[in-house]
Amino acid sequence: MSSHKHHEKLSQIKDAVMKSRELSDEEKSNTIKHIEAWILEDKAEGIIADELLNIASGIRPILKELGLL
């Protein structure tokens, strides 16, 4: 699942938790804290992946020039 789709699913779950009538306010609060942490981790993974792709594209010509590719 792509990072963006994963983020959307977590946001949907977060909305459902907030609207839940079965959960106490404390349960909602704790759940939302976990979901927000997961969303931040998801964003960080996406940023790391993008940066690695940028680095890889910059290194490829150097590796070619050195005869390593």
What's the pLDDT band for 45 if we cut at 50, 70, 90? confident
For 18, the 3-state DSSP assignment is: helix
Domain count of the chain? Answer: 1
Name the residue range of residue 49's domain. Answer: 3-65
Which pair of structure tokens corresponds to residue 56?
Answer: 């890889």
Tell me how crowded residue 35 is: count the other CB atoms within 10 A of its CB: 17
Of 41, 50, 49, 30, the closest CA to residue 7 belongs to 41
Tens-digit pLDDT profile for residues 3-44: 667 778 888 999 999 999 999 999 999 999 998 998 888 888
3, 14, 45 from 58: Cα distances, Å: 23, 38, 20
First to last CA, the chain: 31
Q: Is the pLDDT of residue 69 over 80?
A: no
Q: What is the pLDDT of residue 2?
A: 56
